[in-house]
């Protein structure tokens, strides 16, 4: 779902980036109020979960790949505003260090994965819990059902917005001969190509990832759950060893994400796109915006080191990403004032 560089027109990127600014400002303000200083490093752990979720590529129908995002999970753990910030920073690290998602398209990627996804997921969850607990106190099971539905709705809505952003490009930006300048597929192609795999596979992966991790954390570290933070229930500060152990296991398992060999829909390189087949027709040309586009040089493109064994590079990239996220959120917590 990471929109690469040059697939969106600079104008679109500008609009999406501008749309994110008030969201970020609001989120930062809210998080400063809601989350106590001690929770900030844990938010980094949440961002690390999201970063790892995005490294697990699964093969999707139609030969492409996709991944979970984990935005709803962070929203359940720390609230949707904190999730917005956490996923944004995870996306920034992916874009700057690993070249996953474009720098210019950063605003658009944040809009889809850091804004639409966690907010839609979280409020769906809230709505279901509220409806279910109208007459009688909610059973614990309802939280899991709500989390499952919320995460499924969240990722699919995000995929839908991504598809719309892709699909608008050929309608808005094309040259005199009708060849698209940026993403060449219009809405009628982009929406089904994005939505069918996400509805069928990636949504389910996100659902499973969210529910499994959420259930685990509810059990071993209930003080990490947003509702308990809001309720300000006094809890013994716990050591979160099981949570860190889970992260270690996820890091060790990331090479599984390499099993899916295809390229994600809408993330082909400029050399690949001319040969991409759609409904039996190859595209046959490289959109000029892609061929002559600007691209940032990054240290580890696609989480790998060229000419090296992919598996250790992938694991090391995962460690680097997770560690950086934890460090960044620890640094963010420094200037914050403690609750009392």
Is residue 95 part of the contact set for another protein (CB under 8 A)?
no
What count of other Cβ atoms lies within 10 Å of the Cβ of residue 338? 8
Is residue 73 part of the contact set for another protein (CB under 8 A)?
no
In the shown chain, the binding pattern of residues 271 to 310 toward another protein, with x for contact by CB under 8 A and - for none, equals: --------------------------xxxx----xx-xx-
C-alpha span between 314 and 305 (Å, rounded): 9
Q: Please, what's the b/e burial string for 208-228 (b: 16 or more CB within 10 A of its CB; e: otherwise)?
A: ebbbebbeebbeebebbbbee
Is residue 19 part of the contact set for another protein (CB under 8 A)?
no
Is residue 317 part of the contact set for another protein (CB under 8 A)?
yes
- Output the CA–CA distances (angstroms, integers) from residue 261 to 59, 65, 68, 274, in the order listed: 8, 8, 16, 19
Is residue 12 part of the contact set for another protein (CB under 8 A)?
no
Work out the angle between the directed axes of helices 71-78 and 203-220 (0-180°, nearest 10): 30
Question: Which one, 216 or 294, has the nearer CB to another protein?
Answer: 294
Query: Least distance (Å) from another protein to the CB of residue 42?
Result: 12
Is residue 158 part of the contact set for another protein (CB under 8 A)?
no
What count of other Cβ atoms lies within 10 Å of the Cβ of residue 166? 27
Question: Which one, 76 or 332, has the nearer CB to another protein?
Answer: 332
Is residue 94 part of the contact set for another protein (CB under 8 A)?
no
Residue recorded with tokens 């969106």: 8
Contact 119, 84 (CB under 8 A): yes
Is residue 232 part of the contact set for another protein (CB under 8 A)?
no
Question: Which one, 231 or 334, has the nearer CB to another protein?
Answer: 334
Residues forming contacts to another protein in the complex (CB under 8 A) are: 41, 297-300, 305-306, 308-309, 312-313, 316-317, 319-320, 322-324, 326-327, 330-331, 333-334
């Amino acid at each position: 779902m990471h929109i690469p560089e040059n697939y969106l027109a600079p104008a679109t990127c500008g609009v999406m980036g501008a749309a994110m600014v008030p969201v970020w400002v609001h989120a930062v303000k809210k998080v400063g109020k809601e989350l106590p200083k001690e929770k900030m490093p844990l938010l980094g752990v949440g961002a690390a979960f999201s970063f790892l979720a995005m490294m697990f590529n699964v093969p999707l129908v139609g030969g492409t790949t996709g991944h979970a995002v984990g935005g709803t999970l962070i929203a359940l753990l720390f609230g949707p505003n904190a999730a917005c910030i956490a996923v944004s920073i995870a996306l920034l690290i992916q874009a700057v260090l690993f070249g996953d998602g474009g720098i210019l398209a950063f605003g658009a990627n944040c809009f889809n994965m850091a804004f639409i996804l966690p907010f839609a997921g979280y409020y769906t969850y809230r709505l279901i819990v509220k409806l279910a607990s109208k007459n009688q106190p909610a059973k614990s099971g309802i939280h899991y059902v709500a989390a499952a539905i919320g995460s499924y709705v969240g990722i699919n809505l995000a995929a839908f917005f991504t598809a719309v952003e892709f699909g608008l490009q050929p309608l808005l930006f094309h040259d005199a001969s009708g060849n698209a300048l940026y993403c060449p597929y219009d809405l009628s192609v982009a929406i089904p190509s994005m939505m069918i795999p996400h509805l069928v596979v990636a949504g389910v992966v996100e659902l499973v990832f969210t529910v499994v991790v959420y259930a685990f954390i509810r059990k071993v570290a209930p003080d990490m759950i947003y509702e308990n933070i809001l309720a300000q229930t006094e809890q013994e500060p716990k050591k979160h060893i099981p949570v860190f152990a889970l992260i270690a296991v996820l890091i060790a398992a990331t090479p599984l994400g390499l099993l899916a060999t295809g390229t994600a829909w809408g993330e082909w390189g400029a050399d690949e796109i001319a040969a991409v087949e759609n409904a039996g027709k190859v595209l046959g040309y490289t959109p000029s915006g892609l061929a002559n586009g600007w691209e940032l040089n990054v240290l580890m493109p696609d989480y790998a080191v060229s000419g090296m064994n992919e598996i250790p590079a992938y694991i090391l990239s995962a460690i680097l990403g997770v560690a950086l996220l934890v460090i960044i959120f620890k640094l963010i917590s420094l200037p914050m004032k403690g609750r009392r």
